[in-house]
Chain A
Amino acid sequence: MNINFTQEQQRFRAEVRAWLADNVPAERLPSFDTAEGFELHREWEKKLAAGNWGNVNWPIEYGGRGLDLISWLIFEEEYYRADAPLRVSQNGIFLLAPTIMEFGSDEQKARFLPPMAAGDEIWAQAWSEPGAGSDMAAITSKAERDGDHYVITGQKTWSSRAVFADWCFGLFRTEAGSERHKGLSKILVPLDSHGLTRRPIAQLDGDPGFAELFFDEVRVPVANLLGPEHGGWGVAMATAGFERGLLLRSPARFQEAAARLVRLYQSHKHRLASGVGEQVVQAWMNAERFCAATYQLVARVQAGASISSESSANKLFWSEMDKHLHRTAMSIMGAQAELQEGLDAIDNGRWLDGYMFSLAGPIYAGTNEVQRNILAERVLGLPR
């Protein structure tokens, strides 16, 4: 076992730190779930891309630096340490991009990855449907072949950032009469397509963080099929693995939140009950454990292991940890906890925002109940 960073890795960390110190906006950007905030976050993505910092672990030809996942973790650590803006492109860069790299043709890689890296095309996910949430195999939206096009009809929902994004990656039924996880395909669709209507959904904080998408005979070139036709379930599962497993939530995010929680506790502890400190320690311990586990997972992935059902444990851990951490912060702030912004709002309501967002964690990327089923059946071997 070796837990020392190489000189090269240390030099890389210093370089990231220096660039972020010079470039991270002094003020936190408005939420990317607003029109103004979305465009400011897009500008930030462009700035990252211009410095070639957007995706350090991508191959050089697609706008990355060709670095390994340890370097990516280092980048993430510095990124959260600098309190840099959240990644408005996260669905694209963390979920779709690894899928394109694994399943996409050379043409698709060349067409989609560079503009994604540049912040010119921001992606949303279009998987869930009103009748297909946890039971994703119940998807009914169909994509019928018509020459060299698919004609898509149906409805998608809970599509994060789709109100302002440019493209979506969807899962549609391409094989007429197929059932369950058979006959589905993953298709990339421009969100400004003719026949596609977006209805914003206000999330808990009132902002339109996601949208319903209505497809009324939307025509998409067959070239936008990602992976095998009718084999979309396998492609989607690979994406879900990335989402739950590693890329979406790196430890740095939680370690920085835990550090802020310790400071919050310090400034309020004169009026707190004796058990609160232990909850703060617990939040810090959880973040450290998540960090240790992630470095170990990365070491295994770099040695050739693939992440499969065990990614469900990862998702359970970070989502429960995040909820506990923010719940603890809310309990510390007392009467100020309800203040969203402005007068008396601690950190301009950041903890409240974080708490509300943490409540979504056990739901998105596959509910925690589904993750527990996956672990019980596929890892522990309990009967279905």
Chain B
Amino acid sequence: MDFRYSQDQLDLIDAAANVLSGENTVERLRAFAADPTTICKSENSLWQQFAELGLFGFMAPESLGGLAQPLEVMVGVAESAGYVGLPEPLIEVAGISVPLLNELGFEDELTAVALGELSVGVISALQTYQSNAHFHDSFLVAGAGVDNLQSRSSLKLTPCNSIDPLRQLTRVELALKQNALADRANLHGAVLSAAQLLGLSRRMIDMSVEYAKERKQFGKPIGSFQAIKHHLANAYTQLEFARPMVQLAALQGGVAVHNAKIAAIDTATLIAETAIQVHGGMGYTYEVDLHLFMKRAWALSAEWGDRNYHMRKLEQYLFTDGATLGASQTFS
């Protein structure tokens, strides 16, 4: 029992975090927001770097050129992707598509994905909308009686408008029923969207702290006032108690996933609202960067099962299924 990342795992997470924060700056995000059509694969040096660093193959088997990392380490990478507000669907490819391709034995495709030559997305019953689907050459369609790869051109994807300017959204015109593969996609999707929400939350706290240190009213930085301090301390506390749950969900799956996703949703919602309040009127503008992270948090909160979905699962577990409860159950 040693519920910590190993040094090797931390090194991998740090390496990914350094690239993400070094390359995906707020200037880059602002430029994308000004012209969302520029969010694409062509002439995208960061997308190329993901391949060079082995990030696409992060969870692929070593025999297929991957790093064979488990989901809990991918959680650390997803948290960093959230922190920088990464628009590219790296986490979806590396954390959801790759493990599923591996499970279905698509070895050639897997090798190509790890090399960055092919991009594969995932479509399942829980994902009504796809973000930046144009990055993907094909999709793994998970659902009862389907479970196969389909090229993007063969699918009907209808454009929709997201409030997040960095999510070019399409609706998937497919009626799918949940099955084992879709459950698997769901597990990874819920855990990794939760992890990104943690990163977004941390970013919004950091932005708010910086703003509260600089912005002066009544002759003092507003961050010296207890009203502001207490909001941010509550936000920080909720985040610190959500993170271990998300890591545990990655290790355990099962009901821990529902708890983790709700923890991340509630944390991100509280922190987004806290952040806008701390920023005052500036927080309500398009000019301050906060909105880029806040809107992503809104969007990811409903991906791979919204709060209602996960809450109903837990109500079922606690009140109907006769769950084993109490101390000593969490890790057994």
Contacts and interface: CB of A to CB of B under 8 A. Distances in A.
Contact of A251 (B3, B9, B226, B327): B327
A317 B234 CA distance: 9
A258 B241 contact: no
Contacts of B205: 380
Interface in B284-332: 311, 314-315, 318-319, 323, 325-332
A143 to B, nearest CB: 33
A316 B209 contact: no
A288 B330 contact: yes
A221 B48 CA distance: 73
A24 interface: no
Interface in A1-29: 1-6, 9, 13
A118 B223 CA distance: 49
A148 interface: no
Contacts of A76: 327
A238 interface: no
B236 A284 contact: no
- In this complex, the member of A265, A288, A292 whose beta carbon has the largest number of chain B beta carbons within 10 angstroms is A292
Interface string B1-33: 111111001000000000000000000000000
B56 to A, nearest CB: 23
- In this complex, the member of A13, A285, A313 whose beta carbon has the largest number of chain B beta carbons within 10 angstroms is A285
Give the size range of B's interface with the partner: 35 or more
Contact of B244 (A281, A292, A381): A292
B237 A81 contact: no
- In this complex, the member of B5, B263, B328, B331 whose beta carbon has the largest number of chain A beta carbons within 10 angstroms is B328
A70 interface: yes
Interface stretch (B125-133, B177-185, B246-254): B246-254
A382 B234 CA distance: 14
Nearest to B5: A1
A375 interface: yes
B236 A313 contact: yes
A290 interface: yes
A262 interface: yes
A296 B237 contact: no
Given A1-B9, A376-B229, A295 B1 contact: yes
B60 to A, nearest CB: 20
Interface string B246-269: 011001100010010011000000
Given A296-B244, A380-B205, A281 B314 contact: yes
Given A262-B319, A383-B221, A299 B2 contact: yes
B1 A255 contact: no
A379 B205 CA distance: 12
Contacts of A289: 241-242, 244-245, 259, 263
Given A291-B330, A382-B229, A317 B4 contact: no
Interface string A363-384: 0000001011101110111111
Interface string A235-257: 00000000000000001110110
A310 interface: yes
A263 B9 CA distance: 41
B282 interface: no
Contacts of B224: 382-384
A261 B244 CA distance: 24
A299 B3 contact: yes
A302 B332 CA distance: 21
Contacts of B315: 277-278, 281
A300 interface: yes
B228 A3 contact: no
B201 to A, nearest CB: 13
A357 interface: no
Contacts of B251: 1, 3
A284 to B, nearest CB: 6
A266 interface: yes
A4 B228 CA distance: 41
A376 B230 contact: yes
A259 B232 contact: no
A265 B234 CA distance: 28
A380 B233 contact: yes
Given A288-B256, A288-B259, A299-B2, A293 B240 contact: yes
A291 B104 CA distance: 35
A273 interface: no
Interface in A300-316: 300, 302-303, 310, 312-313, 316
B319 A285 contact: no
8 contacts: A78-B327, A281-B315, A293-B243, A316-B233, A372-B229, A375-B232, A376-B228, A384-B224
Interface of A: 1-6, 9, 13, 70, 74, 76-78, 80-81, 251-253, 255-256, 258-259, 262, 265-266, 269, 277-278, 280-281, 284-285, 288-293, 295-296, 298-300, 302-303, 310, 312-313, 316-317, 369, 371-373, 375-377, 379-384
Given A259-B325, A372-B234, 7 more contacts: A1-B251, A2-B3, A255-B326, A375-B232, A375-B237, A380-B229, A382-B209
Interface of B: 1-6, 9, 72, 205, 209, 212-213, 220-221, 223-224, 226, 228-230, 232-234, 236-237, 240-245, 247-248, 251-252, 256, 259, 262-263, 311, 314-315, 318-319, 323, 325-332
